[in-house]
Structure 1
Amino acid sequence: MLDIASWLAHLGLDKYIETFTANEVDFSALRHLTEDDLKELGLPLGPRRKVLAAIATLDADARSMPTPEPAPVPAPPVRGAERRQLTVVFIDLVGSTELSQRLDPEEMREVFRAYQSAVSAEIVGYEGIVAKLMGDGVLVYFGWPAAHEDDAERAVRASLAAAAATAGLTTAAGEPLATRIGIATGLVVVGDLVGEGSAQEEAVVGETPNLAARLQALAEPNTVVIADGTQRLVAGLFDMVDLGHRQIKGFAAPVRAWHVTGEADTEGRFDALHGVSTPLAGRTEELDLLLQRWQQVRGGKGQAVLLSGEPGIGKSRLIAALVERLTGEPHDRLRYFCSPYHVHSALYPVIRQLERAAGLLRGDSPDTKLDKLEILLRQIASEVAQTVPLVAELLSIETSGRYAPLELPPQARKSRILAALGGLVEALAARQPVIMIVEDAHWIDPTTSEWLDLLIDGLQNLPVLLIITFRPEFQPRWTLFSNVTALSLSRLDRDEGSAIVDRVSGGKKLPTDVKKQILAKTEGVPLFVEELTKTVIESGYLTDAGDHFVLSGPLPPLAIPSTLHDSLMARLDRLAPVKEVAQTGACIGRAFQHRLLAAVTGYDAARLDDILHQLESSELVFRRGVPPEATYTFKHALVQDTAYQSLLKSRRQRIHARIASTLESQFPESVEAEPETLAHHYAAAGLLQQAVAFWLKAGQQALRRSAHPEAIGNLGKGLDLVARLPDSEGRLRQEIELQTALGVTMIATRGFASPEVLQAFSKARTLSEKLGDRDQLFVALSGEASYQVISGNLRAADELGLQCLELARASGDHALLLEAHHRQWATKSYMGDYAAAEHHLNHGLANYDRDRDHRLTHFYTGHDPGVCCRNYSAQILWLRGYPDQALERCRDAVALAEGMSHPFTIALALSNFTDLYLLRHEPDKARRTLDRTIALSKEFGLQRENVEGRFQLGWALAEEGHLIEGIREMREGLAAITAMGAAAGLQHNLCVLAQACVECGEASEGLDLLDRALSMTESGARFRLPELLRTKGELLLRQNSQDEAAEGWFRRAVTMARDEGTKSLELRAALSLARLCRDRGNDGEARDLLAPIYAWFTEGLDTRDLVDAKEFLNR
């Protein structure tokens, strides 16, 4: 509906809009205005006359207007307002104001009636809706209340016809009438009832109606001007002139407009709408089948192929590929295109094919047309005297003077024409093979269908390949012929869809998530893939970065392309009486359960089953199972999107609220299994507090299942919503829990040293301090401490750990105390304070209970404290000189972890086991545990363990003697670890790489690595420090035989190891020093250095370090 402002603008009285608005004059008041009223409003004589003349036509004309009987359209439901794409046509009678001043009101009334009747007849003929008659103005909708897949095209065709019909009208005095027509397409809200009584109508809200009204003012008399949005939908179907960008009142930006001059001369709808499109993707088997049938045709055996598939599946593209393959082969090609506007026009596709073949033009005279037809037919057949009159009559070409008129009854005339058409095909086939293509047979007229009956029946002995394409709802009657093959096109697979995306993007890669969304939404329908890809590229959300696109910001849900919107909406509107149930199902999701839908809608079983049967029969949804246990799924994701987006946002919210409350009250098992579903519905309903609670629950549940990407997504959605809640204690608690859960998830996926870990726990710490909640503060401090220790900020980690211990002791809570010791055994180990670490580890070993304490995994640092305790204990056992006990402790850790089925904990235990095997110089065993670690890490997205595994692989390769390959893997692993910000254990990793460099003759690089490792002691890091000192000595010895310098480093290593009580490191340092002594000839000193420490060991005597020491002592 146009408002009072648009109505005045249409009359050319824009400057009085403010006056009418200020005096609250709307359409209902308009009809009661008198001349005195208009004087009081300040209107001069001329404008008063214009307004009164226009008012006079409003009601009387609308009531008395003779409206032609429209073609049957699906009955609309009891309608509420909807969001939908609408094509709006505004038609204006040129010069109506001047006519009203010259004509008597009764004469003017007759002019209006004739004009409105002529225009309305054309509109209704194309199944448009005359929404409002305003005297000289007619407002028309295409796409409401029932959409068609080609509403924009219908609107343009109807407008051209309306302009032509009006041009044939005159006043009583013989003055010709003319119209100006504007068309625009866009998203509107339509269906709200406004006004009262006879003035009541369904309003359209949005800029589209006003744009159409403004565009008509740009049109010349008896012409049509369309907006750019409409042009994109009909480009190729009509000839147009670009009017450029025009500044239009009421629109901030210039609007591009197009003048439609007439229908384009194109072969078919596919070529017109899609032009040169992307190459065929997939369809190898289907194309091979068509080529096989062609080979049979070349052998003289006629074939017919019935090619079916849903809209956009690629029927026309497959045929285009076949035609391309036949290029260069001798053949004739005949193409016939059925039309949705000519389903009752006899032989329409045949007529159009003959007109194209003969080269007939609109402006040709009858004689010229006949000449061209004769030339065409003589090229095909030698005897044309009988054929020309028949075909000429079919094409409505006059033959008087050249051929005798056909004096035949209608049925005989039709039979003769069909026989003549068949004879032309036979004549062509007698010269060379023929391929006949009949497209869109779901729109075929009865007579063309009858002609195909005759053709297929006589096809077997003709070298003709007939291909008929149609949609699945069409039931062809030619399937029983022996030479007929049925071929149904299915959807493309993911790789084939991906290839289309790449071609549309010109080979430039789209962001992975964007491509994933496109493929998920389009589900292998080629046209959908193309159009959605184009829409995304043109959306402004992507930036061209040369050979690829990057997101310029967050990607919103992908919008339905305007080119597909009408087609998808038409599928729903064909089921108008039950569309509301489809919309409710769309709110539930792509798939919806019968029981839930019944509970939400409140329909009784019989009624609901009938509705769902209609949806299933229409192939909008498909069913699994038997009601009431059945589940229904929308056949296509874009159909679900269309049904969902057609709902007003306010109505969507009400439906989502009903779904959420129904789920929570009647489906507790679903809520427990999928809390994210309830969270989604509460969020969509605008009930944010409830949504946050269930996003938190969903995130925590995903975390317990080690579904880390899902956990991050759920918790992130909860944090987005909690920020919109008003300040309260409840909000603070929810945000703290969300942040700490997110921190735990980030530890597993991004690593302890990820900035996201610190960000989450620091935010939780701030909120906990604000709330004064000491338990939550402990969680936050614990998470921060974990970040700091792995980042290498050991003094900061130690301080945070001490705060955790203080809070835990004050609370007396067992769990908090266990986790506080957990923080400290890690920190103290990396600080080289092994005695303190053992103190904390002993508490863990003594007090951990799996059944009671495994739950802590999901609340603190994402891994089990009992397993972690055994991991660190094994490391210290090895350092203390108990390599076999360390091995047993590792086995205990892995067994405990595997019994929990918690991937991150298992990966940590396996990684630690690998480290111990490598310390024992057992690379073959290390490779076995390492393979399992890497496999787990990849499966569950455990980034740190994956890159740590890369380094361990290099270490193992170097131990096996594959130095070059091992060094490469270690370097790449170290680079990845460093990029993650992880520094804990980095000292020893640098040392291992330096040792490999020594063996490879790269002592200089090894020294640089060691210097980097030793510089880390400034931050308090002393992890396996004696080994670094020993290795420095070895490097100096290898580099320049610096005996004295090397000796100093060896002696420092021995002394430090003794002071620490790290017997395994003391053994290695003593052996290095002993070798130096022996090389100098001091064999006695060498034995005195090594023998005592070797004698100390009571286990692990078969490990390489101890074997090497024994061999040295035995020489």
Structure 2
Amino acid sequence: MNQVMGDGIMALFGAPLAHEDHAVRACYAALRMQEAVGRYAEDLRRSQGLTVQIRIGLNSGEVVVRSVGSDLHMDYTAVGQTTHLAARMEQLAPPGSTLLTSATLRLAEGFVHVKPLGPVPVKGLESPVEIYALAGAGPARRRLDAAAARGLTPFVGRAPEIQALRHAREEARDGHGQIVAVVGEPGVGKSRLFWEFTRSHLTHGWLVLESGSVSYGKATVYLPVIDLLKAYFKIQDKDDPREIREKVTGKLLTLDRSLEPTLTAFLTLMGLPVDDPGWQALDPRQRRERTHEAVKRLVLRESQVQPLCLVFEDLHWIDSETQLLLDSLVESLPTARLLLLVNYRPEYRHDWGSRTCYAQLRIDPLPREDAGELLRALVGEDASLEPLGRLLIDRTEGNPFFLEECLRTLVETRVLVGERGAYRLAKPLPGIQVPATVEAVLAARIDRLSPEDKRLLQCAAVIGKDVPFPLLATIAEMPDEGLRRGLARLQAGEFLYETTLFPEPEYTFKHALTHEVVYRGLLHERRKGLHARVVEGIERLAGERVAEHAESLARHAVRAEVWDKGVDYLREAAMGAWARGAVQESLERSEQALEALVRLPATPENVRRAVDVRWTLYWPLFALGQMSRLAHVLREADQLAREIADRGRLGHISVMIGVGSMMNGRYPVALAAGREALDIATALGDRELAARSTYLMAVSHLALGDFRSAIDGLSRLVDGPDADRARRAAGMFGSLYEATCCWLALCWAERGEFARASAYAERAIQAVDAADVPQAQAFAYNFRAIVFMLKGEFAQALPWIERAVRLCETKGLLALLWMTSITHGWILAWSGRCAEALQVLDRGITFQEGTERKFFVPLTYAAAAEAFLLGGRPEEARRAADRALELALETGERPREALALHVLGEIAAAERPPDDRAAAAFLERAGALAAELDMRPLLALCRLNLARVRRRTGGREQAEEDLRVARAMFAEMDMRFWLEQTEAERAGGAA
């Protein structure tokens, strides 16, 4: 009881120290109060004609407890929504009744009887609250009893443990008494193991007596023994003292009249008065000895009649007198037909370990396979549940109780709908919160730690689930020896365990849920201060390698509300995620940085931060094809940079705006932005900006078909004065140097200079493999494949594009998956694997159409069209080719215009019957444009296909000239596949 308020009181259960059964205690206390006041009221009514009644309100939840020191007798109070709602329950309760919320019932279900009253509006709350009237105590005394009333879940695993119990049973049956101790954390299934064993065929012919301690039972001596004896004597709660006396006396004397001297001890244990002067004359020590002797004699005598199995559960809550009795009983075990089964948590200690009749079974959480079996039995095998199963097993780490309670929470919140064994996911999968029942168990264990160990555990929780020793030492502010002793105690209590020893010790929380409960138990200001110390600790320990810890630093800085560092580290984390190919993660970190920026004042330094964060957003937005949002972000960055007149940043923003324009197919705008940025770079002497500007303009020239200008610009970044800078400058897919090598390879391949193209492609491969950046590797492998493919070397192209696609799939490189899928399909089609090609192409086009990009998209559709044609899907081929031509004309991508015209010519020639006039027209236009752009491989292909058309239409002389030119060009460019095709065509014509 912590407050007296007029004619009312407020009492806290589970605060300031948590109890896992706090709600049950509160309900029992309320029932006992109503009973006591009822008896008192009846006396008042009879003696004075007065009526006295009380009303009680119960609620459960988190509270903030104030003014609690080391002396728990000092004043303290609880504040918050939880206490407000409890007070409202009391005000709503009719006199003589107790009302409770669903939050309390959820924790006490099975332990009490209630009457539902439905949803009731409560002042101060938006939604009605489900309330219940407390009607009485329920039959359950332990968590397993309550679970059994609801229906037990399937029993999975534990075969070795059952076998060990079977062996102990056989030994005990043969007169070699055994004690088996099952040790494990809360929720792993200690009680369930005993329940299954004692109700199996293995105990047929045995007398099984079960009892257990409860968390509030230490103050009641012999409570587990009394419960066990009541079961033995078949005493029920409704029995009056006379009936109890008769049952005890009759059972004892029927078993063995020599037990009559022990009758007084048993009646005393049952709480009955005894008229025995000899007993009254004994001192407490002598009574204890007589009591122990009486229980032992009864147990041993009964075991002579039939094998006896005694079950004592939860010894970690045992009272000292019961402990002494068990110690005494163990002394007599070796020659009795007695199996003593006990279970407890790791913190419990006893002295039985050296005895030959003692065996200990360690129960751990279920292995993943068994946990999966349990989960499937509970929820079913609906396909939507697979991610949920993995998440639940990861979160609970196979603890059956935690698993079941998390599942109950999901059902109660309607995330899962259906029935047991056949649930389905009805809502998007949320983060799984710690159920109140699980939190109560964990919080009670945590609050039993010493203040020093609890503070140490809280420091560890702030660091994270994984706790490096050097960092913990930095923030814990404890002497090294004290820190190590504290960690040893936390390991012994199985809160933490050591995962590595070298080069420095590292610890991890035994359970993710334990970590969460410890962390949530910290008040905001304390938590914030610890996070700030973690940031300082990581910075100090990491030194120059601080960038490697950006993700962790960002998380701690944001939670510490150190917003400037939060922004900086979030940006670092975003760039790191981008480098790993984690596009969505990069976007999320950048957006978090934008949110954190709002907390900072608008100083010039913070405006620069705001610009830089928008730079970081650029990469993932580009990769995801969100071009409209990208344009908006860049406009914001431009405006911010102009506010502080930062010409360097304005130059870089111009490049980004230019790249955005290029991605939208607006190449003249991109070129103008590149020239503007280059002017700024020249004025400022900013070589990196100059390199980026040059790259932007060169790739834009390439898209437009100005190969000469493209090669001049790109060569500066690979072989010229800007090469070193390009190697250090990060680009969209690796460094500028790596990407430039790829574009140069394409330039030379389009012009038929395949030796140069291959040389640059190989330089790109060497660079990206040395850097080992997945996005850069996939980009370079794709271009290596394209060079081989344009030359007609499809067998050499295929392994490279397969490597690129595999990287995109395994690393989640969505930005490149569409491109590599199209290239893959194109190559598969020319390799004769048309069925596979069409599947791959469908995927690539689907990815592409989900973006707003237009850059090189005409090539995508032209390549797809050719593959569709080879795969026997002419209608889709025509649609794709028409789309390619439309986009090429819209964007000015003249090389893709030529390719689209060529494919349209192939499609017309392949019609049944062939449309030779249209085919010739398309091919002539394609050839003329290819000649103008110096795209020699495409020009040679146009001449080859024109020859085929002209032979059918009677222009044999012109056809022969086309074949002669095509043959010469293919031979000069060493395009052997196409040379063979040309030779075959000539031979066919001659025949």
* 3-state SS, counterpart of residue 772 of structure 2: coil
* Structure 1 pair 359–252 and aligned structure 2 pair: CA distance change class (3 A): farther
User: Paired residue for 2:903?
Assistant: 1031
Q: Which residue number corresponds to residue 421 of structure 1?
A: 299
Mapped partners of 2:831, 2:908: distance in 1: 24
SS in 1 for 2:771: coil
Report the residue type matching 2:691 in the other structure: L
Give the Å deviation of 1:964. 1.9
Q: Is the 8 A contact 1:594 1:627 kept in 2?
A: no
Q: Does 1:487 align with 2:361?
A: yes
**Contact map agreement 1:149 1:569 (CA 8 A) in 2:** yes
Report sequence identity in percent: 24
Of 415, 419, 425, the residue aligned with 1:548 is 425
Is residue 744–residue 862 contact of structure 1 (8 Å, CA) maintained in 2? no
Instruction: Provide the C-alpha distance between the structure 2 equivalents of 1:1017 and 1:625, rounded to a whole number of angstroms.
Output: 58
1:670-689 matched pairs, under 5 angstroms: 671-689=546-564
Mapping of residues 378-457 of structure 1, within 5 Å: 390=263, 393=267, 396=270, 411=289, 414-429=292-307, 437-445=311-319, 446-447=321-322, 450=325, 454=329
Of stretches 1031-1040 and 664-673 in structure 1, the one that deviates more from structure 2 is 664-673
* Counterparts of 2:660 and 2:836, CA distance in 1: 32
Q: Which residue in the other structure is 2:62 paired with? A: 187
Contact 1:370 1:399 in 2 (8 A): no
Q: Is the Cα–Cα contact under 8 Å of residues 57 and 88 in structure 2 kept in the other structure?
A: yes
Specify the alignment match of 2:596 in structure 1.
721
Q: Distance in 2 between matches of 1:1058 and 1:759?
A: 40
Separation (CA, whole Å) in 2 of partners of 1:984 and 1:998: 24
* Distance in structure 1 (CA, Å) of the matches to 2:5 and 2:896: 91
The partner residue of 2:213 within 338, 344, 367 is: 338
Cα deviation digits, residues 891-918 of structure 1 (max 9, x gap): 1221233233333222211110111222
TM-score (norm 2): 0.84
Q: What CA distance in whole angstroms lies between the structure 2 residues aligned with 1:398 and 1:942?
A: 77
Distance 1:803 1:797 in 2: 10
Deviates more, 1:689-698 or 1:966-975: 689-698
Match of 2:727 in 1: 854
C-alpha displacement of 1:424: 3.6
| Structure 2 counterpart of 1:79 | none
Q: Confirm whether residue 205 of structure 1 aligns to residue 83 of structure 2.
A: no
Question: Aligned in 2, Cα 1:173/1:372: closer, same or farther, shift over 3 Å?
Answer: closer
2:894 counterpart SS class: coil
Give the whole-Å Cα distance in 1 for the aligned partners of 2:555 and 2:977: 59
Tell me, what secondary structure is at the counterpart of 1:239? strand
After superposition, residues 972-1051 of structure 1 pair within 5 angstroms as 972-1019=843-890, 1020-1039=892-911, 1040-1051=913-924
Give me the whole-angstrom Cα distance separating, in 1, the residues matched to 2:503 and 2:4: 49
Q: TM-score, normalised by structure 1?
A: 0.76
State the Cα distance separating 1:603 from its structure 2 match: 4.4
Verify the 8 A CA contact 1:988 1:1013 in the aligned structure 2: yes
Amino acid paired to 2:564 = Q
Q: Paired residue for 1:879, among 743, 750, 764?
A: 750
- 1:692 aligned residue (567, 591, 598): 567
| Contact 1:838-1:873 within 8 A present in 2 as well | yes
Aligned residues of 1:881 and 1:1097 also touching (Cα < 8 A) = no
2:146 counterpart of 1:276: no
Match of 1:526 in 2: 400
AA of the residue aligned to 2:111: L
User: Structure 1 residue 519: deviation in Å?
Assistant: 5.3
After superposition, give the CA deviation of every residue in 1:1032-1053 in whole Å (9 maximum; x if it has no partner): 2232222112223322223222
Cα distance 1:871–1:625, how it changes in 2: closer, same or farther (>3 A)? closer
Instruction: Quote the Cα distance in structure 2 between the aligned partners of 1:541 and 1:690.
Output: 37
Matches within 5 A, 1:348-387: 348-349=223-224, 351-353=226-228, 355=230, 360-366=235-241
Mapped pair 1:1087 → 2:960: yes
Note if contact 1:743-1:758 (Cα within 8 Å) is conserved in structure 2. no
Correspondence for 1:741 among 607, 616, 636: 616
Q: C-alpha separation between the residues in 2 aligned to 1:291 and 1:758?
A: 70
- Aligned match of 1:906: 777
Contact 1:585 1:592 in 2 (8 A): yes
* 2:441 matches 1:570: no
Q: Which is helix-richer, 1 or 2?
A: 2
Aligned residues of 1:280 and 1:318 also touching (Cα < 8 A): no
Q: Deviations over 1:18-66 (max 9, x none)?
A: xxxxxxxxxxxxxxxxxxxxxxxxxxxxxxxxxxxxxxxxxxxxxxxxx
* Structure 1 residues 826 and 752: CA distance shift in structure 2, 3 A: farther
Number of the residue aligned with 1:779: 652
The counterpart of 2:981, out of the listed 1070, 1087, 1108, is 1108
Partner Cα distance (2:636, 2:387) in 1: 28
1:240 maps to which of 98, 104, 114:
114
Moved more, 436-445 or 297-306: 297-306
* SS of residue matched to 2:346: coil
The answer to whether residue 10 in structure 2 is matched with residue 139 in structure 1 is yes
Partner letter of residue 1088 of structure 1? Answer: E
The code of the aligned residue for 1:917 comes to F
**Deviation (angstroms), 1:1061:** 1.5
In the TM superposition, what is the alpha-carbon distance from 1:551 to its structure 2 partner? 4.1
Distance across 2 between alignment mates of 1:756 and 1:435 = 72
User: Is this contact kept in 2: 1:947–1:976, CA < 8 A?
Assistant: yes
Alignment match of 1:226 (pick from 64, 75, 100): 100
1:460–1:838 distance in 2 versus 1, CA, 3 Å = farther
**Secondary structure of 1:1023's aligned partner:** helix
For the aligned residue pairs, the C-alpha RMSD in angstroms reads 4.5
- Paired residue total: 964
| 927, 936, 945: which one aligns with 1:1063 | 936
CA distance in 1, matches of 2:305, 2:32: 39
Take 1:1076 and 1:707, find their aligned partners in 2: how far apart are those partners? Answer: 49
- Aligned partner of 1:918 in structure 2 is 789
* Closer, same or farther: CA 830–509 of 1 in aligned 2, 3 Å: same
User: Contact 1:349/1:448 (CA < 8 Å) preserved in 2?
Assistant: no
Unaligned runs of 5+ in 2: none
Query: C-alpha separation between the residues in 1 aligned to 2:153 and 2:627?
Result: 45
Pick from 700, 703, 712 the counterpart of residue 827 of structure 1: 700
Correspondence list, 1:587-986, <5 A:
587-592=462-467, 596-597=471-472, 599-600=474-475, 602-605=477-480, 608=483, 611-612=486-487, 614-622=489-497, 631-661=506-536, 664=539, 668=543, 671-703=546-578, 711-747=586-622, 750-751=623-624, 757-758=630-631, 760-794=633-667, 797-798=670-671, 800-805=673-678, 807-808=680-681, 811=684, 813-847=686-720, 849-857=722-730, 860-986=731-857
Counterpart of 1:101 in structure 2 is: none
1:1041 partner SS: coil
The CA deviation at 1:976 is 2.2
- For residue 845 of structure 2, give the secondary structure of its aligned residue in structure 1: helix
Asked whether the equivalents of residues 583 and 814 of structure 2 are also in contact (C-alpha less than 8 Å), the reply is no
- Secondary structure of the equivalent of 1:674? helix
The answer as to whether partners of 2:940 and 2:970 remain within 8 angstroms in 1 is no
Q: Which residue identity lines up with residue 3 of structure 2 in the other structure?
A: K
Question: In the alignment, which residue of structure 1 is the partner of 2:134?
Answer: 260
Structure 1, gaps ≥5 residues long? 1-129
1:44 corresponding residue in structure 2: none
Q: Partner of 1:847: helix, strand, or coil?
A: coil
| Closer, same or farther: CA 133–1073 of 1 in aligned 2, 3 Å | closer
Query: Contact 2:966–2:982 at 8 Å: present in 1 too?
Result: no
1:584 Cα offset (Å): 3.7
Deviations 1:224-274 (A, max 9, x none): 443432222212112233344455566665544433343322363322267
**CA distance in 2: counterparts of 1:1063 and 1:201, whole angstroms:** 91
Shift of 1:1070: 0.7
Q: Distance in 2 between matches of 1:220 and 1:1005?
A: 76
